[in-house]
Structure 1
């Protein structure tokens, strides 16, 4: 029998607005103390826990029960968990629609309000919402009950979550239940559901795709106001004749001598935009947003940012914290990770096997940190896995599309979830389908299939190699034709392409290397461990310099930002203490290519 204990320690609170790319004033945060219960025998629904919950535990949302921050801190797997809390509708929001939003909950989430079943959502990484207007009592206190079902199935996208009793290799404690902010938003019966924002720097314009909720007609009007650092750039107005509308706006203006301000790591310029919906000239919805004017393209084996080649110096970032695991503990914690990444001379991160908190991406947008957004993997291939993966990947791409910091989509990594992709035509076809599906949503960003090795169709050839010695690395990769024509395995064991596919001039980036651990660490790293900072820096510099010397390689991604549980190959410890002087890491990254 597993005995759980209540953890007494620092209280973490997530009170920030959870969706900074699409902000409204009318909302309330539902994070904080909730009633909580395990339901290992799955009896809760049968005995109507949603009507008469009597939960003996408390949990701090949005931290999962496995974390210390939750107040529970039990790592054993429980497949069924329940939450309950009360909430009131603010008097000033009376008469509006009440929309309940979850930024993420892992994996199958069911919701009841005042005993009324609202709906369910499958997927542990994407945001979702329910209109609960019909179930709330605006004059009384309301009861919200949530059941989350999880499993050890390798057919659900689980990323780095273990599916066995204990951690192993680079797989860590599972993540069960609500793990990002829960909140209520209050909307008029007619509102702005979503706006997809696409920058077009070659025509100095931006395209808005409006998606409206409710009825539109002659009495409706949409106003769009674009500004830069407080100076108005454009103000436009139109009468929508349907719920989905497009508009392209020329951004040329006299706000600056350059006429249009581009977004880049060196100059992360952001335009602010306000969307307003009027009914009979009465303002019924207002949303604050922003966008960056930047372009990602590929030409002559190079990745271009705003039509100029960019050498990418990335960190593999898994986004785990000691007390909160996958949930960032605060804005300050996210900012610290970004700042230290930049201070070490990196210009981006590959968010590994995790769809990160929207606020992390917001701060990357502001600070100019490039992001490769990578999907959490399944670990088996069958019809169920294909269905689970595809639905959630589409949701994630649509949610994260507007962030200028995201410059690459990575749906697959190291053949996880497609283990026989090297020869299996069905698995190859699946990756091609996801590639083209991704391109149908976003034609601008590169899509990588599959990061590490055994690529099928891919905009970038991303190779993983934990070679310890720079001389050996340089010798092996100096013969481009051998590596990229599958004559030799690029890392002694895997080939760059799956059978039937070939190199077509794509950029080549080393997207995992290094992973150096210190010998006094209680855990593991890649290759032989080192004993001193001097030994570490010698090895780090030799292999990094070798990568830079190879002319056809246009960037790298070092493993990794921080230690994660038993994997201790981070440049920072789990508590974000640097293991090596950060300025010395920067010196290596800044050395001329």
Structure 2
């Protein structure tokens, strides 16, 4: 643990933190936030709901972090229990009540007014239960039981460990994203799926309905304040749009859409609102027949950063909405147009802000495996042994069939979960062979499932020649582009230049980085030289995207361009902007 805070730490509203609407991609007017103070206790693995609770924990902050108010490690044989009593708002009168959890890590069981409602397994995706039949008049009681084995199990967990060290970070257990309630009618809209097609100037609208008999759908699409479509639609409708305005980081324009479900008498049963951007991510060829990344049918160099989404006060949970916005805005102000969200899935509002602000996202899938062999996944690749077949499951730490099955399911669940996020331009099923298996097959399946995004089937080490990128990681040693193989070349991790700044570091004695610098001036010179010598010359040879490591320090890692508390930029801002401006203009010259 550390005493390091951020500028937002002391302004958290502990009665209802992160109180903004948690699902911007599918909005209803009525909802009730349950974030705030819950009772908690930690027990052995017993099925009986405890009668006595030890104290209070602030949800949605994990127990391991400062903002939770308890800073406790959850052991593999622990049960972490939450309890909250509350009264439903008036908007639930005569409606069904849906209980939403945006993310709970890892295996949980939910009780409502003493009765078991359901279970869920998996730490990064949302889930919900209809609790209408369990409601009381007056006070209701929610109890949640969580078990999180972390690194002792095969589960998808990213970089979480119970005792952080090096580039393995403090675990996030239990509830770590928002908990909320939503009133709906018996007949209602369950989900929408929006697919832009700029070549056809059209938007495909797919609508999932609950109890849809004798109903009809109506939609309104707005461009700024002008209505560009209004009418009845089918559950799978393609709407033509005139004079479309494209989405890009330079002009992140979003259309607004409202969908209403009506009965046969045109009475409105449900209304949801959303948004979409008209954009296209694809691969094309320049005038030298070199494959390039394209945005909206034009070559588009993506200059990005690795973004792990960790905070010294909240772990994987930012203190507030403003903290999320800060990271995106600051990186954009420095000239970056892409963030690679590294083996973590953020709250849905983070993607909404990327959509609104104009930041392309490469979304990693969260990795698992019971034990990762660092010699195999760390040492050998740095000796340029990078093409071992990932059918050797044991070598990759995935000889457990349940591990492979659950990870593959989570890959497609993640695509479904984030499908409507305009900014997501690339799916990354595997990173540096951590828990990697059948990457070519899975990459091809992801591309078939969502043809609107690029797929980086194996970022970094053991390339299986799958779709759609030649994805290279290079630290310490100079970057030498590999021979072209028909796929766009991306340098999806590099740099990691490090600097310790006193009073802005997690742990001075245990901090580490690949290459250390003592001053802002020496680090800036090294950063500039790296791009001038190794990056810019290779853009003409086919380099289509770069991902510098990283947005900020994370715990013991001090290789961020920002300190972990987001207070100090370690590299000269003008130098960063100048390099990014150069990179972004090169493919079009």
When normalised by structure 1's length, the TM-score is 0.86
Query: 2:99 & 2:346 partners in 1: Cα distance?
Result: 21
- Counterpart of 2:102 in structure 1 is 103
1:284 pairs with one of 266, 269, 274:
269
Matches within 5 A, 1:126-165: 126-137=125-136, 139-152=137-150, 153-162=152-161, 165=162
Q: Does 1:223 align with 2:207?
A: no
Q: Does 1:506 align with 2:491?
A: no
1:352-393 CA-to-partner distances (Å, cap 9, x unmatched) read 010111101001000100100111111330201112212222
Matches within 5 A, 1:338-353: 338-353=328-343
- Counterpart of 2:391 in structure 1 is none
Query: 1:558 & 1:11 partners in 2: Cα distance?
Result: 31
Query: 1:151 & 1:297 partners in 2: Cα distance?
Result: 40
- Counterpart of 1:255 in structure 2 is none
Shift of 1:75: 3.8
- Counterpart of 2:442 in structure 1 is 434
Q: Secondary structure of 2:132's match?
A: coil
1:499-538 CA-to-partner distances (Å, cap 9, x unmatched) read xxxx3x1111101111111266734454331122221112
Shift of 1:48: 3.6
Shift of 1:458: 2.1
Shift of 1:411: 1.2
Shift of 1:9: 6.2
Shift of 1:118: 0.6
Shift of 1:154: 4.3
1:568 pairs with one of 541, 558, 572:
558
1:196 pairs with one of 189, 193, 196:
193
Q: Does 1:518 align with 2:499?
A: yes
1:294 pairs with one of 265, 279, 296:
279
- Counterpart of 2:581 in structure 1 is 590
Query: 2:579 & 2:511 partners in 1: Cα distance?
Result: 24
Q: How many residues align?
A: 526
1:164-191 CA-to-partner distances (Å, cap 9, x unmatched) read x522221101110000000000000000
Mapped contact 2:75–2:148 kept (Cα < 8 A): no
Q: Does 1:535 align with 2:543?
A: no
2:22 pairs with one of 18, 24, 28:
18
- Counterpart of 2:61 in structure 1 is 63
- Counterpart of 2:468 in structure 1 is 459
Q: Does 1:179 align with 2:176?
A: yes
- Counterpart of 1:83 in structure 2 is 82
Query: 1:193 & 1:440 partners in 2: Cα distance?
Result: 24
Q: Secondary structure of 1:325's match?
A: coil
Q: Secondary structure of 2:169's match?
A: coil
Matches within 5 A, 1:348-367: 348-367=338-357
Say if 1:38 and 1:304 are closer, same or farther in 2 by CA, change over 3 A. same
Mapped contact 1:107–1:123 kept (Cα < 8 A): yes
Query: 1:207 & 1:27 partners in 2: Cα distance?
Result: 28
Say if 1:525 and 1:557 are closer, same or farther in 2 by CA, change over 3 A. farther
Shift of 1:588: 2.5
Query: 2:433 & 2:417 partners in 1: Cα distance?
Result: 25
2:406 pairs with one of 388, 394, 399:
388
- Counterpart of 1:74 in structure 2 is 72
Shift of 1:548: 1.8
Say if 1:173 and 1:77 are closer, same or farther in 2 by CA, change over 3 A. farther
- Counterpart of 1:36 in structure 2 is 40
Query: 1:166 & 1:109 partners in 2: Cα distance?
Result: 22
Say if 1:282 and 1:519 are closer, same or farther in 2 by CA, change over 3 A. closer
Shift of 1:54: 2.1
Mapped contact 1:155–1:385 kept (Cα < 8 A): yes
Shift of 1:575: 1.1
Mapped contact 2:513–2:558 kept (Cα < 8 A): no
Task: Extract unaligned runs of 5+ from structure 1.
Answer: 1-7, 253-258, 419-426, 485-502
Q: Secondary structure of 1:319's match?
A: coil
1:249-279 CA-to-partner distances (Å, cap 9, x unmatched) read 0011xxxxxx111100000010000010112
1:265-303 CA-to-partner distances (Å, cap 9, x unmatched) read 000010000010112221110001000000011123111
1:39-92 CA-to-partner distances (Å, cap 9, x unmatched) read 2x212x1x343xxx4212111000011011001112463642010101222233
Q: Secondary structure of 1:180's match?
A: coil
Say if 1:535 and 1:132 are closer, same or farther in 2 by CA, change over 3 A. same
Q: Secondary structure of 1:118's match?
A: strand
Say if 1:205 and 1:520 are closer, same or farther in 2 by CA, change over 3 A. closer
Structural RMSD (CA): 1.7
2:430 pairs with one of 370, 388, 412:
412
Query: 1:395 & 1:465 partners in 2: Cα distance?
Result: 30
1:445 pairs with one of 449, 453, 456:
453
Query: 2:74 & 2:54 partners in 1: Cα distance?
Result: 18
Mapped contact 2:157–2:366 kept (Cα < 8 A): yes
